[in-house]
Structure formats: C-alpha cells, structure tokens
Structure 1
Amino acid sequence: MGEATGATGDRVAVAEDFVAEARASLEAAVALIRHGVGQLDAEQVWWRPREGVNSVGNLLLHLAGNLRQRFGSVIGGGPDDRDRFGEFTERGPIPKEELLRRFEEAAGRADEILATLTPDRLGRTCRFQLLAGEAEKSVLGVVIQSLTHLHGHAQEILHMTRMQLGEGYDFRQPSGVPPEPGGGA
C-alpha cells in the first residue's frame, strides 16, 4: 500500500471513529435527559428555582432548537426556522411528552446527519448566524461545539431534577448492577 493510500485510509478511519464517538455521545446525552425528565411531573418540568433561570421545559425547547439548527440547517443544509427567543420565553404548559418528542426528534435527525459525515464533509467550512453575528467553523467544529452544549444542558437538567426530587431521585445504574446507597449519576 502506498503512502497516499495509507494516509487516505487513516483519514477515513479517524473520521469513522469520530463519527461513531459523536453518535455515542449524542445518545448518552439523550439517555441522561430522558432519565432526568422521566422522573418529573408536568409541574416540575416547568418549575424554575427563581425568575431568570430556565425551566427544564425551556431547556428541552432550547436543545431541540439548537440541534435542529446546527445539524439540520448548518450541517444538513435545511431551512433555519429556529425561534431561539421563544425557547426561553415559553412558560408552558407544553406537556412533557410533547417536549420530549420534539427533543428526541431533533436528536434523531442529528444522529442521521452524523451518520452521513465523511472525512471531506467534516473538514468543510460552515457559515451560520449567532446572536452576536455570523460565525464560521468546520463541520467537525460545529459537531464538537453542539455536543458540548448538549452535554452541558443535560447536566443542568439532571441537576434541576435532583434539586426538586431530593432523596426521591432515582439514580441511574448500569444494567445488571445493583444500586449503591447514595451513589450514581
């Protein structure tokens, strides 16, 4: 095998590994959010510790909007119909099931788009609107930034769930492992 073929093969392997890890990361964040939101009732989904702090419902709307915009529009080339302001000003009560449906639909579409990414596509540059103007990043950069954003809000949702449920919070356990007192994610 020649050097060019080897380098191309390495590039393809790295891209495939990156896409596999990105898809696993997306699924892990979705599972964490499902776990937390699944323990909340309709009122708790829209609870906020104080005015000026987002509810879990707002965060779900925000994440669905962000995933649709970044993966569906910026990477996938679809229309950008995001209402970012509305994600944060909504006060509900949109039912929990509807919020999760919107979020999971956006995450599913993000996963579909991730599955199509090639080494060439990962290196292409995207231009998109931010609050402070236009940004330019590689597709790889958009994926990393989007997944980091998703995981940050997933932890925020989990924290808000634990704040509300206290001792009633049900810790996640790896399958087949009995729960440890006071431990878990």
Structure 2
Amino acid sequence: MDKLTHFQEELIAHCHYRMDESLRMLRISLSTLTEDEVWQKPNASLNSVGNLVLHLCGNMRQYGIASLTEMEDNRNRDIEFSTTGGYDKTGLLKQLETTVTEVKQVISATTVERFLQKQKVQGFEFSGIGNCIHLVEHLSYHTGQIAFWAKLLKNKQLGFYAGVDLNKKNVT
C-alpha cells in the first residue's frame, strides 16, 4: 500500500472513530434529559440541546455531504436555532445518527483528488481534508456543550469513560 492510500485510510478511519465517539457521548447525555429539558435554554443568549442537535445535522450536511459531493447546499441555518420544539429526544437522535451515517459514507467514498480540492463552504475556502477536520471538531465542540448542560441540569457525571484508566501513561 502506498503512503497516500495509507494516509487516506487513516484519515477516514479516525474521522469515523471521532464521530462515533461523539455520538456515543450524545446518546448518554440525551438519555439523562427529560423531553422538556431538551428544549430548555440556559439563558437567552444560549441554545437548547434540541437546537444544537439540529445545528449539528445542518452543519454536517453542508460540510460533509453537500460540499464533499458537490451537491446543492440547501441548508437553512436560521431554522436550526429558531426551532423551539416539534422533535422528541428519539427523533433528534435518529436524525443525527442518520446524518452521521451519511457523512461517514460520503467520507469513505471521497477520492484523494476531492480531499485535496478546495471549495467555498459558508464563505470559507477549505479542501476536503479541511471539511473533514471541521466536521470532527465541530461535532466534538457541540457534544461538549451538550454534555456540560446535561451535567449542570442533573448535577452528576455522565460516565463517558467509566471503567477506563485515564491516568495511564503513554507507552512508546
């Protein structure tokens, strides 16, 4: 296997892993919240968990599907933040899981040429690699916000790494 192919496979594998990790943490976070808490806003300048999940779906479709496949970008970002209900936890999670699955399929099918090609997304110019990095970090960023809100509401740890010794030292 040549180095470029190996690099591409590693990039894809780690993007998938990080997206799956965020989904795992989001499932745990959402499981602790009531239906009302999903749409509760911490204050007027912050978003509800429901808004953040809708926002993640929109962003992932824009960066991970429309851009990487060069399909039409039909995202309506304002609706992601103005929605105040209409989805229960199960529906929100299903929508996010479906979106992540589709994005992972697109990333797996992305060619080296497309990974290197630059394209405008939201007014920024990114390569396909840049889009993938954005997808992973943006999902992780909002996963952390949702986890923080769940911990704050419930005053308990979520146990993301229960049973794992996070104090182990690196081995070379």
Shorter-chain TM-score above 0.5? yes
Which residue of structure 1 aligns with residue 108 of structure 2? 115
Q: Distance between the aligned counterparts of 1:153 and 1:101, measured in 2?
A: 17
Q: Does 1:148 align with 2:137?
A: yes
Which residue of structure 1 aligns with residue 18 of structure 2? 25
Aligned-pair CA distance for 1:172: 2.8
**Count of residues in Structure 1 that have an aligned counterpart in Structure 2:** 165
Q: Does 1:127 align with 2:116?
A: no
Which residue of structure 2 aligns with residue 78 of structure 1? 71
Identity among equivalent positions (%) equals 24
Which residue of structure 1 aligns with residue 148 of structure 2? 159
Which residue of structure 2 aligns with residue 3 of structure 1? none
Aligned-pair CA distance for 1:170: 4.0
Q: 2:127 aligns with which of 126, 138, 158?
A: 138
Contact 1:72 1:78 in 2 (8 A): yes
The structure that has the greater radius of gyration is 1
> Residue 142 of structure 1 aligns to which amino acid in structure 2?
N
Consecutive unaligned residues of structure 1, counting only runs of 5 or more, are 1-5, 179-185
Consecutive unaligned residues of structure 2, counting only runs of 5 or more, are 165-172
Q: Distance between the aligned counterparts of 2:33 and 2:21, measured in 1?
A: 19
Aligned-pair CA distance for 1:102: 1.3
Which residue of structure 1 aligns with residue 167 of structure 2? none
Contact 2:68 2:110 in 1 (8 A): no
Aligned-pair CA distance for 1:93: 4.1
Q: Distance between the aligned counterparts of 2:133 and 2:18, measured in 1?
A: 10
Runs (4+) of structure 1 exceeding 2 A deviation are: 117-121
> Residue 70 of structure 2 aligns to which amino acid in structure 1?
G
Q: After superposition, what is the alpha-carbon deviation per residue over 1:91-132, rounded to whole angstroms, capped at 9, x for unaligned? A: 11421111111111111111111111232221111222x2xx
Deviates more, 1:143-152 or 1:71-80: 71-80
Q: Distance between the aligned counterparts of 1:45 and 1:13, measured in 2?
A: 41
TM-score when scaled to structure 2? Answer: 0.88
Contact 1:42 1:93 in 2 (8 A): no
Which residue of structure 1 aligns with residue 90 of structure 2? 97
Which residue of structure 2 aligns with residue 11 of structure 1? 4
Aligned-pair CA distance for 1:52: 1.7
Q: Distance between the aligned counterparts of 1:135 and 1:98, measured in 2?
A: 31
